[in-house]
Amino acid sequence: MFSRILIANRGEIACRIIRTAHRMGLRSIAVYSEADASSRHVRLADEAVLIGPAPARESYLVAERILEAAARTGAQAVHPGYGFLSENAQFADACAAAGLSFVGPSASAMRALGSKSAAKALMERAGVPLVPGYHGEEQDPGFLALEAQRIGYPVLIKASAGGGGKGMRMVERPQDFAAALASCRREAASSFGDERVLIEKYLMRPRHIEIQVFADAHGNCVHLFERDCSVQRRHQKVLEEAPAPGMTAERRAAMGTAACDAARAAGYLGAGTVEFIVQPDGTFHFMEMNTRLQVEHPVTEMITGLDLVEWQLRVAAGEPLPLAQEQIALHGHALEARIYAEDTARGFLPSTGRLIHLAAPAESVNVRIDSGVEEGDEITTHYDPMIAKLIVWDGSPDNARERACARMLQSLAQVRIVGVANNVDFLARLVACPAFAGADLDTGLIERERGFLFPQEAEAPPEVLLVATLAELLREEEGARAAAAAHGDPYSPWHLRDGWRLNAGYRRTLTFRCGEVEKRIAVGYTGGGYELELDGHSVSASGMRTGNSRLDAQLGGARVPATVVAVGDRRHVFLHGRAWQIVAGDPLHHAGEGRADTGGLIAPMPGKILALLAEPGAALEKGAPLLVLEAMKMEHTLTAPAKGKVRQFRFEVGDSVSEGTELVDFDPEAQ
């Protein structure tokens, strides 16, 4: 076993690998870009080497700089994590040429499986069932359009070298094929440096089930059961579980055998994932094989009790697999929720900013947090916007999935994030959704359950406003005590904030706004507390603030634990497992807030203009595409908010823009 390992990655996967390396007594070496100089993976590693500027193409994707860092630090092995260079055969070759152990499959296996088209041809020869489609080398747009017609709509265009939903589009009509193909190619070239695509039949209501496999250099190959990754948005997984609900022992054995056959056909070594699309009748088809560790590997670890990173390191060091197939047992049920900095109400647009407040449930045998950030860190436009992975497990013999779902809801209720938009509330609705709870799963679940998952924004309940008011009053008390302590006369009555007035009681009003609704709370001071009046109802209130913005409130005699984080005039209230954002009241709040919603003519996030899709002066229908903005490795098409025309574009292709920047001068047609 080597003793010094360099991790050619960043974020939560780098932290994850460091944790196992330290447990095994290995020295960990991190690499980092200028944007990551103070990041968590750098702080956790034993050593760290700067490899370039913030853009990944100038740092994490530059193999030469990573190899230089390995040579400088005396590393004996390189773990690529996932993403970046993890499936780059040239990088694997370069590691071998430099005398480094590459923690992953051979370059030849990567080449065989790295192209989805080549992998499908290999699987076809090995007898692994495939989805109907075109996987060849011919890439002429006209030819591909004819292939789509032959396969039959709807079809799925997929980047041949892709993954993570990038370079992927579902096309329902022939007239939409050319635009979707062009978009896929741009995204694929940007993310993977390869614009080639394949086309497959889009199967209706399929499930996405994958098998974790492991192979060593001694001829051993095993599978570690399956994961159900059907719950996706924009073809990206958001909630995964193991084992797959409803999986029979016979089907598990058949899929496990097919997965091992696929690995053997490629001469595979190390950890890999064979992904299948499964039809409602249980028929399964090979989609692709990922030649790396998967983001969702923790659910497999939870149900098997194994450390897959340790297995990777041992196999890379030439050791045989620690266990044979019959020695690997499945126990309980696990779920993983991916917590992203994204605005779910705006089509899951990525969000950027500083993590002003970040809290999570305590880790235990049942709850695990994998994260690459801590409170105070930045979510930037340069990298994936994942904040953390929340993994829960339950080992109950009869109703493990139901109990695991309950644990997930309980754990999500303890996640509190301020500083970026995030999907925590959405994830809680997803787990509570009757379709998910009942295991009625397919890759279209989020779209078909939109009514449940995207409810109309509700008015903040009275309890939220009362808690925010109490937190405000207690914060004032703390400020007064601090000022008194720093004053020459700390016992002066002028420092008190108890509402005392000579010959009269004192009442004041606090104003809060939630959305467009403004509420006024009348505050009366009582001995040891307050009397709060909202909408004609009064309640006694008292409490105390503790660390990390926690509030132990007493409202009308009932204990109400909450968290209230103040950022400028905004109050982020976390109560009963939900997050609310309200504004501390200035009745003139509308002044100076900027122009009203223009229907998507303002940049929703920082990014780069990739394409201008409309001619200035041309008549356009509502919803017509105007331009393509690239942000966080994904393309976002901005559309006309109404019938009208573009007067002018304010930027050209290739220009970078900031969030909130006006992009288009648009003239709506008079109604």
Label residue 306 left, alpha or beta by phi (over 0 means left) and psi (-120 to 50 means alpha): beta
CB 543 within 8 A of CB 551: yes
How far is residue 275's CA from residue 664's CA, in Å, rounded to a whole number? 42
Q: Which residue has the tokens 């779902």?
A: 405
- Would you call 210 helix, strand, or coil by DSSP? strand
Q: Encoding tokens for residue 431?
A: 């787990």
Query: In 3D, which of 466, 601, 472, 482 has the Cα closest to residue 534?
Result: 466
DSSP state of 497: -
Catalytic residues: 292
CB 606 within 8 A of CB 612: no
How far is residue 574's CA from residue 408's CA, in Å, rounded to a whole number? 17
DSSP state of 100: P
How far is residue 403's CA from residue 380's CA, in Å, rounded to a whole number? 36
Label residue 208 left, alpha or beta by phi (over 0 means left) and psi (-120 to 50 means alpha): beta
Question: Can you give 501-554 as a three-state secondary structure string?
Answer: CCCCCCEEEEEEEECCEEEEEEEEEECCEEEEEECCEEEEEEEEEEHHHEEEEE
Label residue 575 left, alpha or beta by phi (over 0 means left) and psi (-120 to 50 means alpha): beta
Query: In 3D, which of 539, 585, 541, 566 has the Cα closest to residue 475?
Result: 566
CB 360 within 8 A of CB 373: no
Query: In 3D, which of 379, 395, 418, 436 has the Cα closest to residue 568?
Result: 418
Residue 23 CA: distances (Å) to CA of 11, 16, 18, 26, 27: 19, 11, 9, 8, 10
- 520 burial type by CB count under 10 A (0-12 exposed, 13-18 middle, 19+ buried): middle
Query: In 3D, which of 21, 10, 24, 27 has the Cα closest to residue 74?
Result: 27
CB 289 within 8 A of CB 262: yes
Q: Encoding tokens for residue 259?
A: 């997965």
How far is residue 547's CA from residue 563's CA, in Å, rounded to a whole number? 10
Length of the chain: 671
| Angle at which helices 89-97 and 63-73 cross, to 10° | 30
